[in-house]
Amino acid sequence: MSTPCYHCGERCPQDLDLQVELLGRPRPMCCPGCALAAGLIADAGLMDFYRFRTELAPRVEQHLDWSSFDHPQIRDRMSALGTDGERQLHMNVGGLRCGACAWLIERRLSELEGVVSVQVDLGTGDTWVRMDPDRPVSEVMAAVAELGYSPRPAEQGAAGRALASERRDALRRIMVAGIAMMQVMSYAVGMYLGAFQDMGPTEARFFRLISLVVTTPVVFFSAVPFFRGALRGLRNRQPGMDLPVSLAVGIAYAASCINTFRGAGEVYFDSVVMFVFLLSAARYLELAARRRAQSWVGDGREAPTLARRLHADVATMVPAENLRAGDRIRLLAGDTVPADARIVEGELACDESLINGESEPLERTPGQDVFAGARCVSGPAELEVLRSGDDTLIAGLQRQVSQAQAQRPPLSRLADRIAGRFVVGVLIAAVASAVYHAGSGDALGTALAVLVVTCPCALSLAVPTALAAASGRLSAMGLMPVRAGAVERLAGVDTLALDKTGSLTRGRPALIRTVLLGDLDRREALALAAALEHGSQHPIARAFETYADGRKAEALRELPGSGLSGRVGRRRLQLGRPAEGGLPADADPGLTWIQLEDQDGPLALFGLDDPLREGCRGSLEALRAGGLALAILSGDRPQTVARIAEQLDITAAQGGMRPEDKRRWVQDRQSEGRRVAMLGDGINDGPVLATADLAIAMGRGAALARASADLVLPGDSLRPLARGRALATKTLSVMRQNLVWALAYNAVALPLAMSGALAPWMAAIGMSLSSLVVVVNAARLSAGEARDAVPARSVRDDGPRMAAG
């Protein structure tokens, strides 16, 4: 029974005893990163963060180097010098969970020297910092990262600006429609009352005129997007919901204008404005939910890299994009490979997990190639650049992703399919009723009544309201819909293919077992190993960092075969692979074993493995119970994959797969008629994700995977997926209910209107009621089961208060 970290909520390792005094009591911490962040918060007097937060903080990851952002070329893309001589830095921060996080960042950054003002937009994570132009930008970003958040450059380019202006445009239209609606509704009430109280013709005329004047900007400004959408649909021969909407608005408005100048007949200005306002608002909400997720996800590019270019043995730091084929570069341990290159001198071990899913670093010798995006675990080496910038393997993958996405068939919505036929039906009905009443009554008036009453108010609201409610709820659950159609696709899939490294496992080795061979106790053995591994870039080092007690080894040397040697105190230590037969009989052969020994003999054996994510088994069970067939497609070694598959009880599992193999597997299933969802986190998964019917990316994975996904799991757990799927299915059924209701309403109202028995006030009330029913039904999706703000990351009751519900 392990305790949760007070800062981030993750489980603390059993033998770790790290505590920080917060709010008057010592609190457990899960790792030095969280402890450091908590300590920073306490020392800076920002304890209010723990008092007021409504969500747990993100887990603090270390090992990131922000100095590349100080390079002028890169820095100037993120910031500009203002007229007052200050630098205005614009970045995007990920991991903001609630208001207190944004407050924390603002306060912490304000305390940095040279920072004048900070502003954080909680909704999108966009952060603006005004600072002294001589202070390094990297300092600001490192301060944010220390607290556990992820700072990223916010592209100041066209894309960001376009999105912002689109949003403002939508707001303007909604505002005009809303203000006009309030006015016209009140005039309409006056007219209805006047009809009962014998209003004179002059007054009636006045009201109609004034309603016309106020409605006009709504039709010619606020409703324009609908007209554009309808025209586009007609041109592509795929009429969507915009068509009946535009027809209803246009015809009702035109007819009402005619009647105003005729002086007789009914006017429907109030219905027109109400309709435009409600629909614009519903679509805006749906768009806003997606936009927020999109800004979180970013544009698919990793942080810019710097390269050490050699020129007659002098190394200069240049941005990776400046490299040309034939340049000589030097790579040291910890660097990210800036371009596809061939080793000329020295040896390099590279962690290519983000590129091909292989979780073990591979040793490379002169003559072999390394690829841009890999991380160097050991060095140094001199290389010659083969391909840079757009020609690298990664860039190729990015292009494949965009291509695949462009070719993806658009989601055909039930509502859009109905829309075309609906229009035809209504027009026929209107003409028929006009013909029928041609001799005996008010033909034009009846035809208009038909058109107005069958106004697709409820029909067009059916889908966007449900999606807006569902998107908000999904985000709260820990699943972010990023692309349009994500929710419908989630409900429609029947197969889930998972990558292993990064999705099912953390992608980092962790200590599983310790076997003591000498006279040391466990804590001391681990601390010694940590002292040796301190500063090493090898993934194995991460497994030991939580056990460090501050000591560092001296005379540290790397041995061939990933070994280390050094001196701590009086012990001359060595950490490396155990000799043949050095493992005890009951040692699990599936673990990676390394042995710690000193000059007197072996001290301890450590068994490492890349463990399953927490709650993995439970989440997969829930998914299977929800009707999903599970499979593992991984680029990792088949033996490792087989072991995991066995633990999780999954029969369809394959290792050693390359991206093309994965893509073929997905396509084979699709041709069998199945709908496949793919979960991945590496760059190599980008093209496969675009092929699948639904692409899910892990938040901590490669930026490219995130940007090509439909859904993103920002947390570390797969738990939200099962509940998200249940919600998506429910959303689809709510959409269907809404559509059925809308059509039923029209079916009832239509005969009434055709027979001429429908008064305009009945039509108006009918439209409002039907829309109300649709909206309330959709709102059921946001209410739902209350207690799932942060699933199963329980915090003690004297800790932060969870958001109500």
Partner 1 sequence: MSAIYFLIPLTLLLLVLAVVVFFWAIRDGQFDDLESPGFRVLLDEEERGRDDSGGPQETDDDDR
Residues that bind partner 1 (CB under 8 A): 23-24, 48, 51-52, 98-100, 102-103, 110, 119-123, 164, 168, 171-172, 175-176, 179, 183, 187, 203, 206, 210, 213-214, 798, 801
Shortest Cβ distance from residue 109 to partner 1 (Å)? 12
Write out the two tokens for 417.
């399919």
**Dihedrals φ, ψ of 440, to 5°?**
-90, -25
Measured from the CB atom, is 131 or 750 closer to partner 1?
131
Specify the long-range contacts of residues 764-769, CB closer than 8 Å, at least 24 apart: 764/188, 764/268, 764/270, 764/271, 766/453, 767/271, 767/274, 767/275, 767/452, 767/453, 767/455, 767/457, 767/458, 768/274
Shortest Cβ distance from residue 122 to partner 1 (Å)? 4
- The CB density around residue 574, as the number of other CB atoms within 10 Å, is 19
Shortest Cβ distance from residue 723 to partner 1 (Å)? 24
Q: What's the burial of 50, exposed, middle or buried (CB within 10 Å: 0-12/13-18/19+)?
A: buried
Measured from the CB atom, is 552 or 801 closer to partner 1?
801
Shortest Cβ distance from residue 132 to partner 1 (Å)? 16
Cα–Cα separations (whole angstroms), residue 449 to 117, 243, 741, 761, 771 = 59, 19, 20, 11, 18
Shortest Cβ distance from residue 211 to partner 1 (Å)? 10
Q: At how many degrees (to 10) do helices 201-217 and 158-196 cross?
A: 170
- The answer to whether 774 touches 462, Cβ cutoff 8 Å, is yes
Shortest Cβ distance from residue 180 to partner 1 (Å)? 8
Rounded to an integer, what distance in angstroms lies between the CA atom of residue 257 and that of residue 209?
A: 9
- The CB density around residue 639, as the number of other CB atoms within 10 Å, is 10
Shortest Cβ distance from residue 469 to partner 1 (Å)? 18
Measured from the CB atom, is 60 or 180 closer to partner 1?
180
Shortest Cβ distance from residue 291 to partner 1 (Å)? 12
Measured from the CB atom, is 209 or 629 closer to partner 1?
209
Rounded to an integer, what distance in angstroms lies between the CA atom of residue 146 and that of residue 36?
A: 8
- The answer to whether 446 touches 433, Cβ cutoff 8 Å, is yes
The residues that bridge with 549 in the sheet, in sequence order, are: none
Measured from the CB atom, is 52 or 192 closer to partner 1?
52
Shortest Cβ distance from residue 393 to partner 1 (Å)? 39
First-to-last alpha carbon distance for the chain, in angstroms, is 26
Shortest Cβ distance from residue 120 to partner 1 (Å)? 7
Measured from the CB atom, is 168 or 658 closer to partner 1?
168
Measured from the CB atom, is 103 or 761 closer to partner 1?
103
Measured from the CB atom, is 100 or 430 closer to partner 1?
100
Shortest Cβ distance from residue 155 to partner 1 (Å)? 17
- The CB density around residue 414, as the number of other CB atoms within 10 Å, is 14
Measured from the CB atom, is 103 or 741 closer to partner 1?
103
Shortest Cβ distance from residue 112 to partner 1 (Å)? 14
**What DSSP line would sit under 508-537, residue for residue?**
S-EEEEEEE-SS--HHHHHHHHHHHHTT--
Rounded to an integer, what distance in angstroms lies between the CA atom of residue 322 and that of residue 235?
A: 44
Contacts (Cβ under 8 Å, ≥6 apart) of 759: none
Residue with tokens 């809404």: 738
Write out the two tokens for 6.
């007070």
Proportion of the chain in helix, strand, coil states, percent, rounded to 5: 50, 20, 35
- 376 HSE (CA, 13 A, CB side): 27
Three-class DSSP category at 443: helix
**Dihedrals φ, ψ of 395, to 5°?**
-60, -40
Rounded to an integer, what distance in angstroms lies between the CA atom of residue 662 and that of residue 657?
A: 6
User: Using CA of residue 525, residue 527, residue 530, residue 534, what is the dihedral sign?
Assistant: negative
DSSP state of 507: S
Report the alpha-carbon angle 388-391-393, nearest 5.
95
Rounded to an integer, what distance in angstroms lies between the CA atom of residue 330 and that of residue 497?
A: 39
**What DSSP line would sit under 115-159, residue for residue?**
EEEEEE-TTT-EEEEEE-TTS-HHHHHHHHHHTT-EEEEPP-SHH
**Dihedrals φ, ψ of 522, to 5°?**
-60, -45
**Burial code of 741-759, b = ≥16 C-beta within 10 A, e = fewer?**
bbbebbeebbebbbebebe
Measured from the CB atom, is 54 or 405 closer to partner 1?
54
Measured from the CB atom, is 53 or 483 closer to partner 1?
53
Measured from the CB atom, is 103 or 436 closer to partner 1?
103
Shortest Cβ distance from residue 470 to partner 1 (Å)? 20
Shortest Cβ distance from residue 212 to partner 1 (Å)? 12
User: Using CA of residue 730, residue 734, residue 735, residue 740, what is the dihedral sign?
Assistant: positive
Rounded to an integer, what distance in angstroms lies between the CA atom of residue 373 and that of residue 123?
A: 30
Shortest Cβ distance from residue 191 to partner 1 (Å)? 12
Measured from the CB atom, is 8 or 170 closer to partner 1?
170
Shortest Cβ distance from residue 693 to partner 1 (Å)? 33
Shortest Cβ distance from residue 731 to partner 1 (Å)? 24
Measured from the CB atom, is 98 or 516 closer to partner 1?
98
Cα–Cα separations (whole angstroms), residue 107 to 41, 62, 149, 318, 356 = 10, 21, 14, 33, 40
Report the alpha-carbon angle 387-68-32, nearest 5.
120
**Dihedrals φ, ψ of 709, to 5°?**
-90, 160
Shortest Cβ distance from residue 82 to partner 1 (Å)? 16
